[in-house]
Amino acid sequence: MTTQQQPLAGKTIAVLMTDGVEQIEFTSPRDFLKQQGAQIVLLSPKGAGAQVQGMNHDVKADQFKVDMAVADADPIDYDGLLLPGGVANPDTLRLSEESIAFIRDFAATDRPIAAICHGPWTLIDAGVVTARHMTSWPSLQTDLRNAGAEWTDDEVVVDGRLITSRKPDDLPAFNNAFVKALSVTEQVDAGPTS
């Protein structure tokens, strides 16, 4: 494939997750991003080589090998961040200081963050939802509003470099919005022209 056919060639996307991740909310974006030429790095509070247990709702599904412990990852090395859902996954990540620090530091780079379903929960702890327009699994709406976000029940919401969706049914729109955000080249301020 050419660069036109693979708009994300040369880009590296971090996926932050742990046990209890909703499998399709990881595998669908992962596969779509790879088709667009991106490299995927699975980060977790677990160490490199450990396994993360995926779930199909409340039934155990596949396991996925961790590429790097989030404590060893530098946000500047990634062009985008994917935060899949599942209930247990973000709930556990919220208690991981290294995970929350990574999300907060990544958000400061102003690069795309895509969070789906319960994934936006971690963004509350990272302090990056205030005055942001977002969506999520409906049970998170009060938490997000209490943290200062404007919550709406939409398939996908794009607010600057933040992309959020509600559930697996939204994955096609979510994946497309994330790729579009990743395809926008960063603007570098060259300073005054005169």
Per-residue pLDDT band at 191 (split at 50, 70, 90)? low
Distance CA 113, CA 98 (A): 17
Among candidates 153, 159, 127, 126, which has minimal Cα distance to 140? 153
Q: How many CB atoms lie within 10 A of CB 50?
A: 15
12-175 classified as CATH 3.30.565.10:
no
Q: What are phi and psi of 185, to 5 degrees?
A: -80, 145
Structure-token pair, residue 140: 């998170």
pLDDT at position 4, please? Answer: 61
Nearest partner of 23 among 185, 168, 164, judged by Cα: 168
CA dihedral 157, 139, 121, 40 (to 10 degrees): -60
Return the number of other C-beta atoms located less than 10 Å from residue 56's C-beta. Answer: 13
Q: Is the pLDDT of residue 131 over 60?
A: yes
Question: What is the per-residue pLDDT across 38-79, written as a single tens digit (0 to 9) for each?
Answer: 999 999 999 999 999 999 999 999 999 999 999 999 999 999
Catalytic-labelled residue, pool 117, 149, 156, 179: 117
Residue 114 CA, distance from chain mean position: 4
Rounded to whole angstroms, the Cα distance separating 74 from 135 reads 27
Confirm if 39 and 104 have CB atoms less than 8 A apart: no
Q: Which residues of 130-167 are buried (b: 16+ CB within 10 A; e: fewer)?
A: eebbbbbbeebbeebeebebebeeeebbbeebbbbbbb
Q: What are the extents of the domains in the chain? A: 12-175
Flag whether pLDDT at 186 surpasses 70. no
Tens of pLDDT, residues 105-121 = 999 999 999 999 999 99
pLDDT tens for each residue of 80-105? 999 999 999 999 999 999 999 999 99
Q: Has 105 been annotated as catalytic?
A: no
